[in-house]
Structure 1
């Protein structure tokens, strides 16, 4: 790996990329609150919550006690309702929990080296593959 590439891996992602991802996440959250959400909006929230959790475990950011458990609960409730009714939405309580996650995740973008973001994404892929095998 050349020096330039190595340096990029040790630094946080560019501000432009971080802002684009953040905007997509926050728009998905708002769409789910409005009741106009679709499964892909929900999946984006799941991904953001998982990555934020993995990054906290790795020491990038701090979450209040129980935040990720609360997020898992509301995401499972939304998934269940979305599958049953095809209405992918968050209520106000769910919205505030996921907004807290996204706020944390936004700060993580500016302190986490790219290599750690890649590791967290790989971990999510492995987690999803294992979950798919169990079905």
Structure 2
């Protein structure tokens, strides 16, 4: 619980996140892919707050805005898609989250997930 997760598990999570991002960029994504991106962004933000990784100022606010825009469009049109700007912002979040997964103790990941569930 005091060590980071295994490299294999961290790589699997990273791959799932990046595949969701690519799928949404291509326009072939669905709500499931979108929800995965929201979870990754929220966990990354919570881990930054806990001291695991640093993000540039405003990154998570930008990520929240593009996620809300995608959600709105997805609900209205059933087209779950990220444009180029949204893609770049969320790719930055995922790059940070990949680093977090390699250094964050498992207990902190569990705490972040619990916080996400209760918020």
What TM-score does the superposition give when structure 1 sets the normalisation length? 0.88
Determine whether 1:20 maps to 2:5: no
Using the TM superposition, give the Cα deviation of residue 69 of structure 1 relative to its aligned residue in structure 2, in angstroms: 0.2
Residue in structure 2 matched with residue 85 of structure 1 by the alignment: 77
How big is each residue's C-alpha offset from its partner over 1:51-101, in whole Å with a ceiling of 9 and x where there is no partner? Answer: 000000000000000000000000000000000000000000000000000
Residue in structure 2 matched with residue 56 of structure 1 by the alignment: 48
How many equivalent pairs are there? 119
Residue in structure 2 matched with residue 5 of structure 1 by the alignment: none
How big is each residue's C-alpha offset from its partner over 1:89-125, in whole Å with a ceiling of 9 and x where there is no partner? Answer: 0000000000000000000011100000000000010
Residue in structure 2 matched with residue 131 of structure 1 by the alignment: none
Output aligned runs, 1:1-135, within 5 Å: 9-127=1-119
Show structure 1 runs of 4+ deviating over 3 A: none
What TM-score does the superposition give when structure 2 sets the normalisation length? 1.00
Structure number with the bigger relative contact order (C-alpha 8 A, sep ≥ 6) is 2
Residue segments in structure 1 that go unaligned for 5+ positions in a row:
1-8, 128-135
Greater Rg, structure 1 or structure 2?
A: 1
- When the two chains are superposed, the root-mean-square deviation of aligned CA atoms in Å is 0.3
